[in-house]
Chains A and B, each alone.
Chain A
Amino acid sequence: MDWQPLVLTFKLAVITTAILFVVSIPIAYWLSNTKSKMKPVIETLVSMPLVLPPTVLGFYMLVAFSPENAFGNWLNEWLGIRLIFSFGGLVVASVIYSLPFMVQPIQTGLSSLPSTLKEASYTMGKSKLTTLVKILLPNVKPALLTGIVLSFAHTVGEFGVVLMIGGNMPGKTKVASIAIYDEVEAMNYSAANSYSLILFSITFIILLMVYLTNGGYFKRFVP
């Protein structure tokens, strides 16, 4: 069996999750605090990937990143980046596609904290950043864990966006979900089954870990 698609899948998922973690905290913090009229609009945009067919997203990114068009051309000319049919493009697409899975748990977590926690911190002269890092985030650890795991699992499971924007290039953009499709097309069911079984098991274990930790199951062993 060719392990490359699986390695690529997890590399993509790790990088995507890391970027999402950094990007989503400010977005979730802003959404949980703001009274701006823009809030519903931003919330909608963040949540769109939940309901939109991945092919729609993939199609527009394909159009946007194409060197034939202004944005893609600009990226290519000025930064030397080609996002189409490349690993970099997959990362960008995955970040956008899994955004709600990271933002929403963190936003819910932050909103559920009593506002007196941050107010107490402010009256002690602490800045908003210090308050976020030392008080707010440590108290929403289960939400952070949920966000990380869901984004990771969702990236592992994506298919449509990857196919549209990445295509099927071994070692570059051929992730496990594409490989399965490929093997089935080639009537190679046993290889498809191996990939599928591995993805199935890993996803099951990851999600089980989340429910066990957030359900307080581990707390019994760690005083």
Chain B
Amino acid sequence: MIRLNLKKTLKSIGGEMVLDLELNIAKGQFVTLFGESGAGKTSTLRMLSGLLKPDMGSITVDGRTWFDSNRNINLIPQQRKVGYVFQDYALFPNMTVRQNLEYALQKYQDNSIIQELLDFAQLSELQQRKPETLSGGQKQRVALARALVQRPEILILDEPLSALDLKMRIKLQEYLLQIHKKYKLTTILVSHDIGEIVKLSDCVFEIQNGKVIKKGTASDFFGLNKTSAKFRFSGEVLKIEKEDVIYVISVLIGNEIIKVVSDRTEANELKVGDQVLVASKAFNPIIQKI
């Protein structure tokens, strides 16, 4: 169980912001922090890992105190040993893939875990390469594998997949889930991608201006349980065209543009740029492999 109770005044370009939040995370959960950039998500992760010192509050992990401003306890990052995957991966450019992993070994630690992780992340063939020669997805897998070498109980992922293309992202999401289960981790993810959050997380915290404004399971959170729709997508209105008596509305969903027919009253309520929901109830959608 991780209990965070943090207060910190953060200075950013937009001025000062007071971060004041309480998070309780059960052991073994996959938790996502969700919210706009600058809301304080990364700062929260940095405070948990010891890279940033809170002004006030406490952090306890499985009954052990990592930080307590009243009792003047503040473990340094080296003592906390969380697995941290940075947004820019932070691979050591002077070392090969294998050396990056080996560097993370602890004193007297059995090095068989290196090969295990290289195999699991399908990096064995790349192990002698330097990070600069790797693609984004490969770098990400190295960063993940490296974070796991020291067998952390907590894995922190700061927008790990945001720089990758859709295909690679979906592949790595699967991989994240496998790692989470295999190594019995408590995983904390920062993400903006709703699909990703729903797919991965047990619990979501929405953070805005340094405060937790909403908390729940992923399906509760995005209202997936409320409608009985067979399928539904959210998108943005690109164009509204009148054709005879009906209106054709073009909606951008992901990378696809779809056209939806509507009548005048519906069309009048919409304008270009609106966020809309496209759902179907009556008909079963066709599904086939492509």
Contact = CB atoms under 8 A, between A and B. Distances in A.
B103 A134 contact: yes
A139 interface: yes
A124 B150 contact: yes
Contact of B150 (A116, A125, A127, A134): A125
B136 to A, nearest CB: 16
Nearest to B79: A125
A123 B93 contact: no
B221 interface: no
A38 to B, nearest CB: 21
A131 B49 CA distance: 17
State which size class the interface on B falls in: 20 to 34
A122 interface: yes
Interface stretch (B81-89, B159-167, B272-280): B81-89
B84 A119 contact: yes
Interface string B70-88: 0000001111111110111
Contacts of B146: 120, 124
Contact of B51 (A122, A127, A138, A139): A122
B88 A123 contact: no
B94 interface: yes
Interface in B124-166: 146-147, 149-150
The secondary-structure label for the interface of chain A is: helix
A124 B78 CA distance: 6
A117 B131 CA distance: 13
A40 interface: no
A122 B147 CA distance: 12
A139 B93 contact: yes
Nearest to A117: B90
B94 A135 contact: yes
B122 interface: no
A119 B92 contact: no
Interface of B: 49-51, 76-84, 86-88, 90, 92-94, 103-104, 106, 146-147, 149-150
Given A119-B90, A120-B84, A123-B84, 15 more contacts: A116-B87, A117-B90, A120-B92, A121-B92, A121-B103, A123-B51, A123-B77, A123-B78, A123-B147, A124-B81, A124-B103, A125-B106, A126-B78, A138-B94, A139-B93
10 contacts: A116-B86, A119-B90, A120-B84, A123-B50, A123-B82, A124-B104, A124-B150, A125-B81, A125-B150, A135-B94
